Amino acid sequence: MTLKLAVVGHTNVGKTSLLRTLTRDVGFGEVSHRPSTTRHVEGARLSVDGQALLELYDTPGLEDAIALLDYLERLERPGERLDGPARLARFLEGSEARQRFEQEAKVLRQLLASDAGLYVIDAREPVLAKYRDELAVLGSCGKPLLPVLNFVTSAQQREEEWRDALARLGLHALVRFDTVAPPLDGERRLYESLALLLEKSRPQLERLIADHEQQAHARHAAGLRLIAELLIDCAACRRSVGADQQAQVQALHQSIRQREQACVQALLRLYAFRAEDARAGDLPLLDGRWGDDLFNPETLKQLGVQVGGGIAAGAAAGAGIDLMVGGLTLGAATLIGALAGGGLQTARNYGERLLGKLKGQRELSVDDNVLRLLAVRQRQLLDALSARGHAATAAIEVQAGQDSGWRQGKLPAVLRQARAHPRWSSLNPQARLQQAERQEAVERLVAQL
Ligand X SMILES: Nc1nc2c(ncn2[C@@H]2O[C@H](COP(=O)(O)OP(=O)(O)OP(=O)(O)O)[C@@H](O)[C@H]2O)c(=O)[nH]1
Chain residues 78-137 in contact with ligand X, contact rule CB under 6 A: none
Among 5, 8, 13, 16, binds Mg ion (CB under 5 A): 16
Question: What 3-state DSSP class applies to 149?
Answer: strand
Coarse DSSP helix, strand, coil percentages of the chain, rounded to the nearest 5 percent: 50, 10, 35
Among 5, 6, 38, 224, binds ligand X (CB under 6 A): 38
Nearer Cβ to Mg ion (12/255): 12
Among 32-40, 106-114, 299-307, 438-446, which window interacts with Mg ion (CB under 5 A)? Answer: 32-40
At CA 321, angle to CA 429 and CA 263, rounded to 5?
60
Using CA atoms, how far apart are residues 79 and 145, in angstroms rounded to an integer? 30
Rg (the chain; Cα; Å): 30
Among 30-38, 75-83, 247-255, 294-302, which window interacts with ligand X (CB under 6 A)? Answer: 30-38
Among 174-182, 254-262, 318-326, 372-380, which window interacts with ligand X (CB under 6 A)? Answer: 174-182
Using CA atoms, how far apart are residues 228 and 270, in angstroms rounded to an integer? 15
Among 5, 26, 56, 61, binds ligand X (CB under 6 A): 61
Q: Element (H or E) spanning 300, and its range?
A: helix 297-302
Using CA atoms, how far apart are residues 91 and 98, in angstroms rounded to an integer? 10
Among 5, 6, 31, 398, binds ligand X (CB under 6 A): 31
Residue 38 binds to Mg ion (criterion: CB under 5 A):
yes
Nearer Cβ to ligand X (180/445): 180
Residue 277 CB, shortest distance to ligand X, in Å, is: 12
Among 12-20, 86-94, 262-270, 358-366, which window interacts with ligand X (CB under 6 A)? Answer: 12-20
Nearer Cβ to ligand X (23/179): 179
Chain centroid offset of residue 324 CA: 37
Cβ–Cβ under 8 Å, residues 31 and 64: no
Among 180, 190, 249, 375, binds ligand X (CB under 6 A): 180
Among 5, 6, 16, 57, binds ligand X (CB under 6 A): 16
Cβ–Cβ under 8 Å, residues 144 and 197: yes
Q: Which residues contact 244 (CB under 8 A, 6 or more apart)?
A: none
Say which DSSP state 40 is in: S
Cβ–Cβ under 8 Å, residues 426 and 233: yes
Among 29-37, 152-160, 190-198, 430-438, which window interacts with Mg ion (CB under 5 A)? Answer: 29-37
Sites of contact with ligand X (CB under 6 A): 11-17, 31-33, 35-38, 61, 150-151, 178-180, 391, 393
